[in-house]
Structure 1
Amino acid sequence: MLTPHLRKNVDKLWDRFWSAGLTNPLVAVEQITYLLFLKRLEDLDRDRVHAGKDSVYAKKLPEELEREREERDRAIASGKPDPGEKPAPGETCRWSYIRQQSTDTKHLIETVFPWLRTLDRRLSDHEEDTELAGLNGRMADAYFQLDPNKGQVLHDAIDLIDKLFAQAGDGSAAQDLMGDTFEYLLSEVATAGKNGQFRTPRHLIRFMVELLDPRPGERLIDPAPAASCSAPSNTCAARAPRPRTCASNGTAPRTGSTWCRPPSRSARSSKTAPASSASTTTAPWPASAG
């Protein structure tokens, strides 16, 4: 369990991502976890090397070797000096290097995270005795989502993570810290509203729109709209052959359709909508509904 001091540092870390625009708690937890893993990975790799394994940072994939060979051949063919062998791309993905470039978000976006997505392929076939044994492709969709212009936020996050691990040291204590931090973050996510509302993911919005297949003139009824309802509206508007007209939920209408509140009780009682449609949140109402 994290001490109050460590929880305070984790809260600061979360607040920095929140202030940078990562208001979805799940996304913030994901990004913090990636940075924690990158910090821990360098220590794990050091232990692997001591055990006789090749460093994950030094290993080059076949396509990287082929690309390097082609570049050398082109240089020699054009009369230029042989550029020689390049360092492995992972050498600049060590936490110690990232710390030196602590405000360079572009480096994480363009170098570190593309490398991280290939980490599974850089491991040896004998990782059973390491913490990396259960990786199993979990980094294959790792992307850094911090705004590239938020270099100071990245610097502060790196500094806070270093402070977290400074008290844990190496070995099992650092492993326990990783688990306790992740558990604490998840417990905070359970408190919806602490760091912003949960927003419907874009792919779910698209799925709902495709499933409903709304047509011009139909009304979309949302019995529990959030403060901002423009995402479904804009998605519907993009699919509609012409702007649709829906009852407003009290806010200024946008171009295209508006995600509507349900009709008032008096309006509902005057309608003759089928009973089955009344039980759903997406039942189309006649165009004359108020």
Structure 2
Amino acid sequence: MITGEIKSQVDKVWNTFWSGGISNPLEVIEQITYLLFLKRLDENHTREEKRANLLGQPLQNAVFPDGLDPQGRPYADLRWSRFKDFSQAEMFTVFSQSVFPFLRNELPKLSNGEESTYSHHMKDAQFKIPNAGVLKQVVDVIDSINMDGKDTKGDLYEYMLSKLASAGTNGQFRTPRHIIDLMVGMTAPKPLEAICDPASGTCGFLVQAGEFLRKNNPNLLTNDESKKFFHNQQFHGFDFDSTMLRIGSMNMLLHGVENPDISYRDSLADLHAEEEEKYHVILANPPFAGSLDYENVAKDLLTVVKTKKTELLFLALFIKLLKPGGRAAVIVPDGVLFGSTGAHKALRKMLVEGHKLDAVVKLPSGVFKPYAGVSTAILFFTKTNSGGTDNVWFYDVKSDGFSLDDKRTPLASSDLPDVLARWNERTTTERQRARTDQSFCVPLSEIAANDYDLSLNRYKEIEHEDVEHADPEEILTVLDGLEAEIAEGMADLRELLGG
């Protein structure tokens, strides 16, 4: 866990970027990411040097080659351990003219270079650090932090990502960490299960899925099979924003996942034959960008549901990508639950009748503030291709542990632990809960009879307190008395005024 002192240093660097003219939080994070990557490359190179010296063998898998770079500078000068000690002016020159071109153009081509997803997303990167003073300050802060542990690196990056305080383009906004943790905990990913987020952004869902796997499987990274799968085949994220791909890749790397599949893809436009029925778990909060033209939607999705609505198309995509028996936890706008169009009804019917809809968790409308005030829910379903829904479990989240205004101040209590606890009892004690409770189950037959409406308020019963009112004659008598008092008071007032 990073300290308050480190946070204040990061805040100072952040303010320096802003005063230097970079006001987009994504750009700030991306520029810092280049330096974090350079430091990591030098750590890998140093580790290989120590191994070679210990074994008395030639250096293998060297990140920085011998000789000179295209600018005539020794590649050794590009290493963090050398670069960080240059004067302010020389550091800026070396980074802009040698280090950055090396990261962007040369490193992905080196057969012995860092075999990470991040290096493959550097081709479109741009160096935007405004001046030598800003660069020197960022380097000093990064160098002062002991990042030997995975947790420190990950926590540092997580703190920077928390500064994304405005919505991105195309309806993108960052999902709060505690909501992600709830969704991951309820889907409970297992070793050797392929996990996918088709709208991955900063890869928050994939990162937390990795943390869950580590925490709940002590032998995960000591077993050769599960370790190899974890680093190379377990995590899959798609995005069509190159900046997000770099930030997401670095987020995974700093959280200890060496080579995840984080790739460029327009998930709604590209055909999905290669990915169809490929994944065991899908975790996602896809962007709700409105409508697309039919010609911009993959034809295989339109065979599932004929619609232009992105939130419905993403649900169709998730069904297509899941293996039979695979499970999904996805955030949807409330309109998906009760929309009256043919496409809305058809998709809900498909989830309920064609597969197994496990749960609808209603979130308070302030969960995504300050990004947006949209009202949302989380759908949990299992792909079966043969039905299986018997009861759908509903939970009405009143508090997620934070105030529901733009400040999102932490509160003393939260419903989220209770959500997870009751979720684990949904096939037992939850079946007996009354519809007036915060959670309850609704049978398939009732949902079908309500045109597959999945809005919680359709089924929740409101308790009305019996209130005893006085007899009307008594009320009239009281009113007559009050009126007489008012008339008497007004008469006394007129007398005092000499009227």
Q: Give the TM-score normalised by structure 1.
A: 0.48
Higher relative contact order, structure no. (Cα contacts within 8 Å, ≥ 6 residues apart): 1
More strand by proportion, 1 or 2? 2
More helix by proportion, 1 or 2? 1
Q: Which has the larger radius of gyration?
A: 2
